[in-house]
Structure 1
């Protein structure tokens, strides 16, 4: 079917008299073909593409070619004669201007043979009219369906005119769904750089997806991975390095404990020789570096990354975030409860509008009200971004500041067992406990301390007394848990500093337990 359509497009292009300086590329070929077909059948058409993608050129060529019996080509003599009326859209456009253009077109069709003549409304730069406070594009809905702005059951045949909308960006789906959309993708040199990696990344993701016990990772994580890899290549104008791939994988496929290391899994499917060599500018792939990059919006095409879901144990992530990552940011922490006021999103709304970072804990009943915000698909008006908050019919529009960031902190078991899959998929996931923030040297000290603690809490008794006498580490050290020693080492290192070659912090750690 695709080959048949391509041959038809070639026939159309061969019948045209084009100047020698016009390239007969695929974009021009597709634009002309779709424009001729849709005009002939009076089907609304939207051509969307970047400047220079042959939209206006195709319009001029078609207007010159479709002259009915006066056409230069024998092929185009079989098509209708076309009469185009262009309307240049802008932020100052009004509904009356667009309606008037449709009425003018319909008057040209009145009294003519509609099988041989068609008037066409061409809205040029139609996307600019979206910024008009008078919302002129709302009038397109009935005009594209029936040709009349009134709700007529059977409007006169001459009122149904052809329509072509030219835009540099996609419009509201409510408008584009009333016609045929042709998206024109210009050649992308960055895509050529990452295209060899995409099959391997896709296979690795598919394998990971099929082998997980529940849908912890989904398509949103994969798409975010591709966008991040694309962004790295776009900024450097080269294929991504190994560390850039690792950074992207760990950013989008982290947070799942007990599973295979995500980077090791992806390496099974990738040819690492296809990657560029490491550079001094590569981002940090440590847990702290990944979180810091996410909060600062690194490695995304528009400087914006997904909001964060931080899995933790005993809420250890909260003091770490406050101490290491949020100290330089204007952050507010909201800890929910069963009280009615704590189930409202008023505070979150204020943070969105003012650009503050908000950290949410224990607010499971509220997260579903934020789904539209977590999608990060905003309605833009006068340069501002807006999103809906709420559930059901109780929804409010909220302005979203460019600096707004959202972090959800939750116990890992709660996330694995109770968080809904749509919520998990929308967020960038990381596991953060005190132990994950330690260096290799610090972890070695923690291991030594664990051995010492076990010896300290071991009581040697005759075998006949051991069955009735149980003594745990928490009996010797009140409040002891799995993260206690790591927290102790981490806190002392932060307070004293860990200069290279300075072992004073090690003696301080041992002194705290003596």
Structure 2
């Protein structure tokens, strides 16, 4: 606030700080207190100190990597035009000025001569320092990142803003201890995806805010798993379990039970249903992992718009980016879900939306969410139920309506995360999706804790998890056993031959097939039975059904090769004649597709 007061008196300031350090919020507080409608009240409080101030008029510009010098200079001239008024003092705000520094157009060079003898106040907000040529022309204020020292004060301040909450005040200290301990442990470990400062301020704000309105930590770890536990690496989960054990003083069994109740897909589901939480980032190990959302009915094609990155020349044109932005804006207005598949090129244009920096109406009343501020958000009375946010399109911005039902899902790959900065990833609730891991985590509570099926069902409220537990032990060893069964069934010598026999076979194929079986109605799978012989028979039927799913995926050339080399086991080779191509056409009398290498050709009678 002191730095902003400097700019009110005609100085030029660049404020540098990590996400969540209240750069934008501080300016908004200053703007709200010094706007024309409130300046008289503010002036009355300052009269005791003989301070005379004009109303503050802020001219803002959202910077992106597509910003151009011409637009910045236009905003500068616009702010200067207001300096002729005796009632207001203009201030030019360049939000996220650090993004413009990476623009190929070098738009910030225009500031070199404008800042030599500025006639207006100037503020630049950045998550990282700028180059020396600009920093030497302004007053630079670096906000220290004393995260550990601030956590308790922040948690208590947020707690005081809520009059009605089920969260005991003592649990604030417990959540602070858990956050600190987890941050401390992962900083010592060299985990994939977990960079330095993997956990940020916004993660803590989201954690506290969640428990203000939901079940307290002693009854549910939903808030912990959604805001802190999205990375399902075993080593990371061990760090999280240790931090929870130390902070909550619960037993290992209790902690694992509460953690297992919130596997990745369940967390994503609750995130999509919660109107007040952050948007969702899915970190996929495979290009198709995100389709779990469709398979498990978390998304539907009618309620979501899918936008994909493309490397075709025509799709990399500027108009394609505009088309993507307009589709996202349409989703914002009607309350649909927007799924952005590796579309990082438009993320900067949607910076305010991804940060959920919404305001209520044209009067400038802002609705800030808990994870944007270092201090608790103030309770503003909104005159309208509509919410708006800025969207930057090239070097211009426009205000767009945001429906309460709107949600954005950003899909990235692991390599994208490794090349991303914390300022980008901290905007989201982050979840790592893997078919095999999602399947294992759905069953780990039942198998690891060795609880009776009835207790497990009562805990997870599911009628599907136990079916796989009856036929397969969800461990890596059993997963390898399934691979071995497929190899033996088709007389394959090595695992690499599985990809030769089955189209598209990879590490996720078997878990995907198992998931498909589990999603079938219970009557089609098996009934409850306690006799060991019946259980073995059901397990055998399960394996047979799993094998049946792979039959249509078999490569014809590989089948013929195997048939000629080694007769299939448990099969009478004389009863499996191979008809000639013509004989097959005559018997089928329909269109078939003959696959030759990577080409296909239709053949008819």
TM-score (norm 1): 0.55
Counterpart Cα distance in 2 of 1:429 and 1:369: 20
Give 1:254 deviation, angstroms: 1.8
Q: Within 5 Å, give how 1:271-350 maps onto structure 2.
A: 271-273=248-250, 284-297=261-274, 303-324=275-296, 325-327=298-300, 330-338=303-311, 339=315, 340=317, 341-344=319-322, 345-350=325-330
Does structure 1 retain, via aligned residues, the 8 Å contact 2:279–2:408?
yes
Q: Which residue, out of 210, 221, 232, partners 2:211? A: 232
Give the 3 Å change call, closer, same or farther, for CA 398–187 of structure 1 in structure 2: closer
Aligned to 1:372: 352
Mapped pair 1:201 → 2:179: yes
**What secondary structure does 2:169 align onto?**
helix
Deviation at 1:458, TM superposition (A): 6.4
Counterpart contact for 1:307–1:407, Cα < 8 Å = yes
Structure 1 residue matching 2:211: 3-state secondary structure: helix
Cα offset for 1:391? 6.5
- Larger deviation: 493-502 or 194-203? 493-502
**Mean Cα displacement is larger for which, 352-361 or 195-204?**
195-204
Contact 2:207/2:223 (8 A) holds in 1: no
**Deviation (angstroms), 1:365:** 1.7
Conserved 8 A contact 1:256-1:431: yes
Matches within 5 A, 1:384-399: 384-390=386-392, 393-399=395-401
What is the alpha-carbon root mean square deviation over aligned residues? 5.0
2:434 paired residue number: 433
Which protein is bigger by CA-based radius of gyration?
A: 1
Q: Which residue, 509, 519, 522 being the options, matches 1:494?
A: 519
State the alpha-carbon separation in 2 of the partners of residues 187 and 274 from structure 1: 33
* Structure 2 contact 245–251 (Cα < 8 Å) conserved: no
What displacement does 1:362 show?
A: 2.9
The corresponding residue for 1:479 is 504
| C-alpha contact 1:351 1:358 (8 A) present in aligned 2 | yes
For this pair of structures, how many residues does the alignment match?
351
Distance 1:380 1:216, change over 3 A: farther
Hey, what's the Cα distance between the residues in 2 that align with 1:101 and 1:226?
30
Question: Any idea what SS the aligned residue of 1:387 has?
Answer: strand
Distance 1:451 1:209, change over 3 A: same
Q: State whether residues 186 and 236 of structure 2, in contact with CA within 8 Å, keep that contact through their aligned partners in structure 1.
A: no
Query: 1:428/1:233 Cα in 2 relative to 1: closer, same or farther (>3 Å)?
Result: closer
2:364 aligns with none
Pick closer, same or farther for the CA change 1:401–1:217 going to 2, 3 Å.
farther
Say if 1:220 and 1:101 are closer, same or farther in 2 by CA, change over 3 A: closer
Aligned partner of residue 236 in structure 2, secondary structure: coil
Alpha-carbon offset, residue 449 of structure 1? 1.8
- Stretches of structure 1 that go unaligned for 5 or more consecutive residues are 1-90, 110-116, 127-140, 142-147, 152-172, 175-182, 298-302, 461-468
**What residue number does 1:211 align with?**
189
Deviation at 1:251, TM superposition (A): 3.7
Aligned partners of 2:277 and 2:431: how far apart in 1? 14
Q: CA deviation at 1:417?
A: 3.6
SS at match of 1:253: coil
Within 1, Cα distance between the matches of 2:483 and 2:51? 80
Q: Higher relative contact order at CA 8 Å, sep ≥6: structure 1 or structure 2?
A: 2
Q: Which consecutive unaligned segments of at least 5 residues does structure 2 have?
A: 1-31, 56-78, 80-85, 90-122, 125-153, 362-382, 444-467, 530-537, 552-605
Distance apart, 1:149 and its partner CA: 2.8
Answer yes or no: is the 8 Å Cα contact 2:225–2:267 preserved in 1: no
Pick closer, same or farther for the CA change 1:446–1:342 going to 2, 3 Å: farther
Alpha-carbon spacing, 1:509–1:228, altered in 2? closer, same or farther (3 Å): same
